[in-house]
Amino acid sequence: MSKFWTILRHTYLSHLKSKSFIIMTIATLVIIIGLTNFQNIVDLFSGDDEDSTSQIAVIDETDQLYTALEQNIGAVNEEVELTQYDGTEEEAKNAVKDGEFQAFVHLVLDDQNLPAATYYAMNASESSTVNQIQQSLSQLKTGMVTQQAGIDVETVEQMLAPVEIEKVALAEESKTEEELNQARGLVYFMIFLIYFAVLVYGNMIASEVAVEKSSRVMEILVSSVSPITHMFAKIIGIALLGLTQFGLIIIVGYTSLKMNQNELVGGMFEYLGLGDIPISTIAYALLFFILGYLLYAMLAAMLGSLVSRTEEVNQIVTPMMLLVIAAFMIAMYGLNDPTASFVTITSYIPFFTPIIMFVRVGMLDVPIWEIALSIGILLVTIFIFAKIAAKVFKGGVLMYGPSSSLKDIKRAIQLTKKD
């Protein structure tokens, strides 16, 4: 047992102290802090001084559009300030070139006596201000058209107003829109968490086994400790490494979100519903993450033992990666339609269960017997795979030479039987 802990400790600490792990962790934390402080960063660079206000010159040939346009723009964007320009069109263009104004808008009436405009700026990259001016002029145009046609403006507004539809779910397993919003954030997070954990740490396990074989270190390890002990020590050591990294990410992300919750109200964060997450959903997230990692980690260790060179790792683990990608794509579909039969069926397939069943648990009120059945199937699969992976690993670590296909699994098991 002491050898197991020795290998586990060495696996964990060697990766924990590696430059790649430290750089990747720091970079991830910086990105998370940057995203949760995005509005503060924008405010820091934009500032609150007068330079942050966009000055736009307006020449109104109609003598009737400027006042209404100024009111509409002011109500939509306080950072855009319109100024009625008294000079000529050429003088306004030169003022933009000289930096006195960010842009110049020329308002006229077309052949039908309806608003038309020309927007002059140093470049065409600024689209938000143009869109706001266009929307404001469109509202003015609607009012002028209805007035010319003798139609009451209030009648037009009633015609254009969207029909209010209240969503009422009749299925017992369906959640309300508010409950879906509360669960959506964690479901999104866990899908990406499991996806990247399998890709990164699964490949890490396979690569490490291949490196030990290519450097002949494996021959020394096999003579001193059983391959099965070696395999599970590697798997648990990398698992602890992953929990350490994701623990830091969750703590920093949660703290940063709490510190900036006032700035993050609405928009994407309201849609994701990152608050008031049920404890049961968090518990299922942790459970499916651990079970999913164990299943794919054993598969990665088994595949890694079949190759003798690190260059062959990517090729041998490709089938495993395709399974993860397939589960990820189905989960993305399931977020929009978690009740689909396709999603329900695949949630019981062990290689897809950790991601897809969690999508169903997070988005629906799934009966407890369905969750227990999927977890039971997953546990049985993990147990069976543990036995198969142990045999393949035991024979695979003794195999040297090129490995280009999964047919070597049979060869590795045969070598185990000879022992």
Q: What is the pLDDT along the chain (419 residues), one digit of tens a residue?
A: 677 888 888 888 888 888 888 998 899 888 888 877 776 776 666 554 444 577 888 888 888 888 888 888 877 777 788 888 888 888 888 888 888 888 888 888 888 888 888 888 887 666 777 888 888 888 888 878 887 777 776 777 777 777 777 666 655 555 666 666 666 666 777 777 777 777 788 788 878 777 766 665 555 665 567 767 877 888 888 888 888 888 888 788 778 777 765 554 444 454 444 555 667 777 888 888 888 888 888 888 777 777 767 777 777 788 888 888 898 889 888 888 888 899 999 999 999 998 899 888 888 888 899 999 999 999 999 888 888 777 776 666 666 555 555 566 666 666 555 55
Q: Which residue type is seen at 14?
A: S
Distance of alpha carbon 133 from alpha carbon 107, whole angstroms: 11
Direct distance between the N- and C-terminal alpha carbons of the chain, in angstroms, rounded to an integer:
22
Q: What is the pTM of this model?
A: 0.64
What pLDDT score was predicted for residue 7?
Answer: 81
Nearest CA among 278, 252, 260 for reference residue 185: 278
What pLDDT score was predicted for residue 50?
Answer: 46
Domains defined along the chain, listed by start: 54-151 (3.40.190.10), 175-418 (no CATH)
Q: Which residue type is seen at 368?
A: I
> What is the CB neighbour count within 10 angstroms for residue 239?
20
In Å, how far from its chain's centre is CA 370?
Answer: 27
Question: How large is the greatest C-alpha to C-alpha distance in the chain, in angstroms?
Answer: 97
**Which residues have C-beta within 8 Å of that of residue 120, sequence separation ≥ 6?**
92, 93, 96, 103, 104, 105, 106
